[in-house]
Amino acid sequence: MCDGDLQQAIELVVGEPHAVGDEAKQPRPWLDELANVEMSPDESDEFDRQDAARKSRTDASDLSKRVRAYTMLSHRWLDHHVEHLRGSGDPVLVEALNIVCHDCAFVGAKLQQALDGRDRRSHDGRGQVSEPDAETCPRDPVQNDWNGSAKVALISLERSDVAWRAIAQATSDPVAAMLADALRDLRHLTLEEFPRATSFVRPGFDEPWR
């Protein structure tokens, strides 16, 4: 397939073709083994323990606390104002509202994903900081899950900052201006936490040579 064998690529994705009139091949034994894989009670308890410890660490970060506060406040403001303002007929205002409505939860999800991914990579099962061997467990300092998630969050933070300022200008609402300032601070904090995120290359988006 590395030499461009299309037939091998198709078989890898959809399986080997059956000749007309032949009976379907019997499923491979390892498929049955995969279907019956279950964690033991001890393994399940250990998984839950590690997951709880990881969540406790990420939730305690300043970035996580700040984005949760922003998400709560922006939801509260939008619940009280969005329907009325969408009826204003102002296309700029409506577009700004659409942006912040989408991003107010999206930003938190992507930043949590970034924090979670970095924590999974940097801690072992006992919650201790782990430094994997470069040969057996290579780590790209830029092209990794947490930088990718953080970059997407940064893009949303920037556009939502602009959108909240448009809303504040149109409504003279001081809370909207405060939320814009909160996003500006969140963006700075995200850059401090993930300084290489802006260098992450998003496949299909940051590849002008393709």
Has residue 16 been placed in a domain?
A: no
Beta bridge partners of 123: 129
Compute the CA torsion angle 165, 170, 174, 176 (nearest 10 deg): -50
Q: What is the pLDDT of residue 9?
A: 61
Each residue of 154-195: pLDDT tens digit? 999 999 999 999 999 999 999 999 999 999 999 999 999 999
The domain tally of the chain equals: 1
pTM summary value: 0.71
Are the C-beta atoms of 115 and 61 separated by less than 8 Å? yes
Has residue 22 been placed in a domain?
A: no
CA dist., res. 147 & res. 150, Å (int): 5
Each residue of 85-132: pLDDT tens digit? 999 889 999 999 999 999 999 999 999 999 999 998 887 644 444 444
Residue listed under structure tokens 């007929």:
89
Q: What is the pLDDT of residue 88?
A: 87
Has residue 147 been placed in a domain?
A: yes
Interhelix angle for 41-59 vs 91-122, to 10°? 130
Q: What is the pLDDT of residue 15?
A: 60
Confidence class of residue 207 from pLDDT cuts 50, 70 and 90?
low
Each residue of 51-87: pLDDT tens digit? 788 888 888 999 999 999 999 999 999 999 999 999 9
Boundaries of domain holding 182: 65-124+138-199
Has residue 50 been placed in a domain?
A: no
CA dist., res. 109 & res. 114, Å (int): 9
